[in-house]
Each structure stands twice: as C-alpha cells, then as structure tokens.
A and B are shown apart, each in its own frame.
Chain A
Amino acid sequence: MLNDQAHLNPKLFDDDIEQVPSRNGYGEGLVLAADANDQVVALCADLTESTRTEEFAKKYPNRFIEIGVAEQNLAAVASGMAAAGKVPFITSYAVFSPGRNWEQIRTTVCYNNQPVKIIGSHAGISVGPDGATHQALEDLAIMRALPNMVVVCPCDSIEAKKATVAIAKNSKPSYLRLSRSDVPVITTESTSFEIGKAEVFYEGKDVAIIACGQMVYRALLVAKELKEHGISIRVINNHTIKPLDQKTILKAAEETRAVVTVEEHQIHGGLGAAVAELISQNFPVPIKIIGIEDRFGESGEPEELLEKFGLTTENIKKAVLQVLRMKEK
C-alpha cells in the first residue's frame, strides 16, 4: 500500500494526473536557490530556454553567463568561478554536458573538488523526436564513476525543484539529471527530500522495485496492479544514485529477498548497476535490471520510445514475476 508518510499526490492513480517535465522544476528551484544565496550563478551553453534557465537569467541577468556552444569551456569556467567563491550551475543537454566535457568535469571539478552543479537536461530515451544523438543514456554511468561527485535523478518536477535547492547548499560537485518530456507529478511539496536518502513510496514485502526518474511512476502503477493479484511490492524512489542509500536498499533486500531496478538509462553503469554492486556484496538476492539494453535510441514520440525500448509496466511486471520465481527456487 501507499506510504502515507510520503505524502504523495492524491491524484497519483488518476488518469488525469498532472504532467510536467522535471526540467521545469529545476528552473523554479534555481531561482529559489539564487534568492537564498547571492553567490549562486548560472552558465549556459546556448540552451537557456530549453534547459529552463531562462527565469533565472531574466531575474538575475548579472549572474547569468552565456558561454555559447562550448561545453568544455562551460565546465572549466565554472570551476574557476567556484574557485573564486561562486556556486555555479551549468546547464546543457546531458549528451553535451556531462557528455562532451567529461574530462574537464573529472579534472577541474571533481579532482579539483570545486562545487560546480552540472545540470543535464534531456536525459533518457523520452527526449523523443530529436533521436539518439540527443538522448543521453550513459550519463549516470560516467558521473557515478567519478570520486567526489553527487548524482541525483529526481522522479518529477517537484522533486527536481527540491534537488536543485539541495545541491546549491551541499558544497560538492553534483550532477542533476532532468527529463525533457512531461512526467507525472507524483510527489507533493510535503514529500520529504534529502540527498542520499531513498524514500519508500509503496510498502510491500514480496519484491522491491528500486527506480529513479519517471520510472518511479511506472513502478507505482505496477505495485498497485499486482497488489490486486496478491503480490506485495515495495517501491523505492532512489533519487540519489551516489551516494547510494545503502541502509534503505539493503533493508529492502533483506526483507523482500527479490529486487527489480528500473531506469531510463543503459543497463550498464547506472542505478541498476549501483544497486547490484551493493546487494551482491552485502546481501545477495535475485535481481533484475530494467533499462536500455545496450543500444542507442531513435526518433519517435516519448511514449512510443518507452514502449519500443521496453520501459513499460508490462516489462516491470514480468521482471517482478521472474525475481519471485528465482527467490522461491
């Protein structure tokens, strides 16, 4: 059953649930973070409107820096600004930043330990018609591999807003992953958010589904449906990929003894990999990783692509039944 303490959207299971891209929440959160701290600055690489940095740029034109199509410069200029006392947010599409500028992020942000906030919008297959070149499916892997880096993938726009405000205060290199397309708003302002603290959104004991981003919504749909068939599923919103909430995840592994992970990312190196690394070394239980199966995306509408690439409630259900069978053996 739904965890009342999570204070989720009362319309969660209604057909007309509000849908908002998580990048919108970032735009709102950035203004809030800037209102609270005058050292917050934002840099953008020719994608100010579509990354939702526009509101900030209008309100704080003197704290907004247009870099142009130069993502390596984007990261390294931000590193220099952080060295001089600023809290820089750098925004682009995730394929370009952190895609194109990974080494600058590694050396000048992470190893240099400067609190630059990397905002990767348009992540996942649900980017849609722009096609594979613009669908970042490897960003969690390349950011998660870096020492000092915090990696957050919010489940909706409200959580994206809270995550933006939170990373503005954490004094660490941080990566925030955002979606382009509409995503159901499943949380509310009252839902708690803390970096590194996964939230149980749905209580259950037979199987744990650990998800991030908009896949959390699909996991909740599956939990509700299978409950009617007598299967009790725990849904964990694992918004922080790094540092991973080891306690909540291992507790779920111990109590359910069957785990499914779901993410809009390659099956290699992302959330599923992080969870598998943790569980296999501490409390091995059957696990299924749902994500993009080691291939590139293509053009199409977001829903068509999620369907074609297997990020569906049907596939999640199949995986749940598989891990249940594996557990029973």
Chain B
Amino acid sequence: MTLPDSAIKHLELKANEIRQDIIKMLLEAGSGHSAGPLGMADILTALYFHILHHNPHNPDLADRDRLVLSNGHICPVLYTTLAHSGYFPVSELKTLRKLGTRLQGHPHRGSLPGLETTSGPLGSGLSQSCGMAYVAKMDQKTWRVICLMSDGEQEAGNTWEAVMFAGKNKLDNLVGVIDRNNIQIDGFTEDIMPLEPLKDKYESFNWHVVDIDGHNFQSIHDAFDLAKTIHSKPTLILAHTTPGKGVSFMENKYEWHGKAPNKQEAEEALTQLRHIEEAIRHA
C-alpha cells in the first residue's frame, strides 16, 4: 500500500518533534546517548503511530504487539515516543536519569508504562522476544513481537543463540530490526569487529531479510507489511540509518554514540531540527 503524502508528512513532523524532545531531554539529563536515538526516531514513530497494535491507555492490553528494545541505551527515543503516544506525560521526559525518575538510564520494566522488558546489557533482547513469540504461537495468539537491536550487539554470542532459536522454531510472528548505523562506542563496527555480510548471515539461519532505508516511512511501512506475509520464517529488517540523523555535527560520528549535547550544542541541534521542521511543513 502506498501511504498518502499527508500521512507521511504527519509521521515526518511527529518524528521531528520527537527528535527535538530527545535533544531537550538529553541536555536536561547531562548524560546519555544521542546518535542512536536520533537515528531511530523515524522507525519508532512509524511503529507507535502507524504499525503497532497497542493502546497507551491500556498498556497491558492482552493482544497488543510487543515491542522489545534490546539495545536499551537508545531509550531516550523510546521514552519520547511513548510519551507522545500518551503512555505518560511529555513533561516527565525532563526527569530522564534523575534520582527517583521512572525514566531510568536504561529501561526498567515496571517503572514506566509501556515497557515490555528491562534492558541495557546487549544481546539478550532477541532471546526474550523469541520467548514471547514462542508463547504467542503455543497459545495461538495473533500478536507480533518486534525486537529492536543495535548493529553492535550483533557481536554478542547471545544474539546468535537467539537467531538460531528463532530460525529453528519458524517464528514468523517475530520481526527483528537492526539499527544498521555502523557505529558503536569505540568506533565503526567494521573496524571494531566486522559484521558483514549480515544479510547472508541471517538468511543462512532461516530468516527472511529485508534491507531498507530506515528514514523512509514508505519503506518502513512496506517492510513490516511484508513481514506479515512471510511464513515459517522470522523476518529481519536491516534498517540502514544515519546515526545522529537531523543534526549535522552528530551525523555518522561515533563520538556521539554515548554522549549528550551541552547547552550550545543543543541550541544548534534544535535550530537545525526546526529548519527541517519548516521544510517538512512547506513541502
């Protein structure tokens, strides 16, 4: 299905608003991850405002789709998207990482409505997603499990244990998404520990793999739609994204993987994002 321009424009504006809030919350927090959250803002927006079956007023809805954030460190984008969806007040975003907050530095299930799991240590989110998807099949439920992963965590052995399990058990109700932004804390993934050919690797484990531009809402929509038609295999969406997307001095810079902007940098980032916002409005 081709999305109408108005729908795409609406999603682009929402993602831009989420990016602006990410910058504001990171400035307020004084620490946290910038590049990953900005890079994944479009996919999170598409999921919560278009793709997932969920209800912000009933986070425990029995047949909701489960979104598992395996790379917990990009939680600023998840928190911001959840708040904008209506799970909790947007004003609470400024409590990120502060004493007593429900917005822990890495997500803690039970602290905040809408979180399916506790995460941070890399490599185990896909396993948890497999467990959920396995139960959905056992109990003949129709809900899907979406597992968001970083590319860096493809270096973890636990990830591949789960990749094998999902392939063996033909978990076609599971969609894995890799944020293929090519950076990790210490540098570029292909320098730290080469991952390619990632597509071939997943395919050889009985996964169906789709490559997409992770900033194109039509492509994101199509990939999740396609996943519904793939039977007897889990689907992997290899989402090529630009880390730090929308803020020129952060884009593709691994130095911005794990740090927050200072006041001046945040102001500059917000100016750039507002220019993009204007461009979307007038497109």
Contact = CB atoms under 8 A, between A and B. Distances in A.
Is B truly associated with A? yes
Interface of A: 62-63, 65, 67-68, 70, 72-73, 75-86, 88, 103-104, 107-108, 111-113
Given A72-B124, A103-B121, 13 more contacts: A68-B161, A70-B161, A70-B164, A70-B165, A73-B161, A76-B162, A78-B131, A79-B117, A80-B135, A81-B135, A84-B66, A107-B120, A112-B109
A113 B110 contact: yes
Given A70-B161, A72-B158, A77 B130 contact: yes
A84 B66 CA distance: 10
B134 A81 contact: yes
A108 B132 contact: no
Given A79-B128, A104-B127, A113-B109, A73 B117 contact: no
Interface string B98-128: 0000000000111000001111110110011
20 contacts: A62-B138, A68-B164, A70-B164, A72-B158, A72-B161, A73-B127, A76-B124, A76-B127, A77-B128, A77-B134, A83-B128, A83-B131, A85-B135, A85-B139, A104-B124, A104-B127, A107-B124, A108-B118, A108-B124, A112-B118
B34 interface: no
Interface string B154-178: 0001100110110000000000000
A72 B127 contact: yes
B136 interface: yes
A204 to B, nearest CB: 45
A234 to B, nearest CB: 41
Given A104-B158, A108-B117, A112-B117, A80 B109 contact: no
Contacts of A77: 127-128, 130-131, 134, 162, 165
B129 interface: yes
Contacts of B116: 83
Contacts of B135: 80-81, 84-86
B129 A72 contact: no
Interface of B: 66, 68, 108-110, 116-121, 123-124, 127-136, 138-139, 157-158, 161-162, 164-165
Contact of B131 (A63, A76, A113): A76
Listed from nearest, the 10 A-B pairs whose CB atoms lie closest are A80-B131, A76-B127, A73-B161, A80-B128, A84-B135, A70-B161, A112-B118, A81-B131, A77-B131, A76-B124
A296 B161 CA distance: 29
Interface of A is mostly: helix
Contacts of B110: 113
A103 to B, nearest CB: 6
Contacts of B121: 103-104, 107
Which residue of A73, A85, A108 has the most chain B CB atoms within 10 A of its CB atom? A73
Nearest to A81: B131
Contacts of A78: 131
Contacts of B124: 72, 76, 79, 104, 107-108
A45 to B, nearest CB: 10
Contacts of A80: 68, 117, 127-135
Nearest to A86: B135
A325 to B, nearest CB: 49
A76 B68 CA distance: 12
Nearest to B117: A112
A73 B108 contact: no
Contacts of A103: 121
Contacts of A104: 121, 124, 127, 158
